[in-house]
C-alpha cells in the first residue's frame, strides 16, 4: 500500500448501486451515457474497440469512436453498434471534435492512438480540458502526458490509468526521479492536485488528494486488451457517478471500474483459463453485472 499521508477511503457495493441509472420506459436515448473513445490507428484497431464495446455492453446508450482513417473500416466491421468517425488525420479534426464533445458525458483518450502526432494529441487534450468532461487517459495518451506534462495543469475531471511501467515513467517525467515513490506522489499532487491516478496491477490502486483505495483479484492470464476493458468500464462508471452528482465521482468511477473489471476478468478466466482472450469478456458482462449489482 502506498503511504502518502492522505485519507484512506473504501467504497461499498451500495455506493456503486446508487449511481447506476435505473432502467425505465420513461428514459430516452442517451440518458444512460454517451461515451467517446479517441484512439485507433492502422496498427491498433482492437484497443479502441475493446474500450468502446465494454462501455456499450455495460449499459451506455451511445458510444462514438474517433479514430484515424486507416482504422475506421476495421472498427466499423467489428460492430455496427458503434458510431465510428475516422477523422484523426483530417485537417478539421479539432473543429469536428468541438461539435461532438458537448454531446458526450465522458471521453477515453489514448487506446491504440499511436505516437506519431504528439502536437495534434496535445491540442486534443487541451480541448478536452476546456470542456471539462470526465476524461480517462490511457495507453498512448499517457505517453503524450509524459512528454508534455504541462497538459495536466488545471486539468479537472481527468483519470490517468497507467500500468506499473507507465506509472514510473509518469512520475519520473513529472517529478524528481531521485526521490522515493511515496515522495514523488506527494510532489505530483502538489503540482497536479486535480488528477486521479489508477495504478494498474495485481492490486489496482486509486490515488488522489482526497482518497486512496485498492482493488485486488482478477485473472492469472494477462492477454492484451484487458486495460482497454478497464478504461471503458471506468469511463461509464465515472459518467454515471457524475450524472448522479456523487461527491467524488472520479474516485468512485475509478473504483467501480476496477472492481467490475477484476471480477469480470476472474469470471472469464475460470471458464477459459490460459486460452482466454479479450473478446471472451463481452458475453459475460451482463452475468457479472447482474451478480454484482442484483439487476434483472
In the annotated binding site, the residues are 112, 163-169, 200-204, 218-228
| Rounded Cα–Cα distance for residues 209 and 185 (Å) | 10
* Phi, psi angle pair for 271, to nearest 5°: -85, -35
Which residue positions form the known binding site for ATP?
200-204, 218-227
Q: How far apart are CA 22 and CA 1, in angstroms?
A: 35
Instruction: Determine contact, residues 197/208, Cβ cutoff 8 Å.
Output: yes
Residues sharing a CB contact under 8 Å with residue 45, sequence separation 6 or more, in sequence order:
67, 71, 74, 75, 78, 112
284 neighbors 269 (Cβ within 8 angstroms): no
The CA–CA distances, whole Å, from 101 to 49, 125, 126, 131, 214 equal 19, 12, 12, 7, 31
Cα(40)–Cα(35) distance, integer angstroms: 16
Instruction: Indicate the DSSP class of residue 147.
Output: H
Helix (H, G, I), strand (E, B) or coil at 91: coil
What's the burial of 71, exposed, middle or buried (CB within 10 Å: 0-12/13-18/19+)? buried
Q: Annotated binding site for (6S)-NADPHX, which residues?
A: 112, 163-169, 228
Rg (CA), the chain: 18
Q: Look at residue 96 and give its three-state secondary structure.
A: helix
Amino acid at each position: 500500500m502506498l503511504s502518502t499521508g492522505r485519507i484512506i477511503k473504501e467504497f461499498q457495493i451500495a455506493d456503486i448501486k446508487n449511481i447506476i441509472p435505473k432502467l425505465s420506459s420513461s428514459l430516452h436515448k442517451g440518458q444512460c451515457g454517451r461515451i467517446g473513445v479517441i484512439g485507433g490507428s492502422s496498427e491498433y484497431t482492437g484497443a479502441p474497440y475493446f474500450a468502446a464495446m465494454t462501455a456499450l455492453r455495460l449499459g451506455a446508450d451511445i458510444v462514438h469512436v474517433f479514430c484515424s482513417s486507416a482504422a475506421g473500416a476495421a472498427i466499423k466491421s467489428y460492430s455496427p453498434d458503434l458510431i465510428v468517425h475516422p477523422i484523426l488525420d483530417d485537417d478539421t479534426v479539432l473543429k469536428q471534435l468541438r461539435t461532438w464533445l458537448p454531446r458526450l458525458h465522458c471521453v477515453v483518450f489514448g487506446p491504440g492512438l499511436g505516437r506519431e502526432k504528439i502536437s495534434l494529441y496535445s491540442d486534443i487534450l487541451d480541448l478536452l480540458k476546456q470542456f471539462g468532461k470526465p476524461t480517462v487517459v490511457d495507453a498512448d495518451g499517457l505517453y503524450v502526458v509524459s512528454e508534455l506534462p504541462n497538459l495536466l495543469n488545471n486539468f479537472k475531471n481527468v483519470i490517468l490509468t497507467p500500468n506499473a511501467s507507465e506509472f514510473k515513467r509518469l512520475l519520473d517525467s513529472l517529478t524528481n526521479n531521485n526521490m522515493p515513490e511515496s515522495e514523488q506522489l506527494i510532489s505530483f499532487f502538489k503540482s497536479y492536485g486535480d488528477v486521479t491516478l489508477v495504478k494498474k496491477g495485481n492490486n489496482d490502486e486509486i490515488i488522489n488528494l482526497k482518497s486512496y483505495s485498492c482493488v485486488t483479484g482478477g485473472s492469472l492470464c494477462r492477454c492484451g486488451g484487458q486495460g482497454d476493458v478497464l478504461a471503458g468500464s471506468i469511463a461509464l462508471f465515472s459518467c454515471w457517478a457524475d450524472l448522479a452528482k456523487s461527491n467524488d465521482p472520479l474516485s468512485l468511477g475509478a473504483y467501480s471500474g476496477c472492481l467490475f473489471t477484476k471480477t469480470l476478468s476472474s469470471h472469464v478466466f475460470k471458464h477459459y483459463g490460459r486460452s482466454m482472450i479479450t473478446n471472451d469478456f463481452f458475453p459475460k458482462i451482463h452475468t457479472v453485472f447482474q451478480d454484482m449489482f442484483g439487476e434483472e
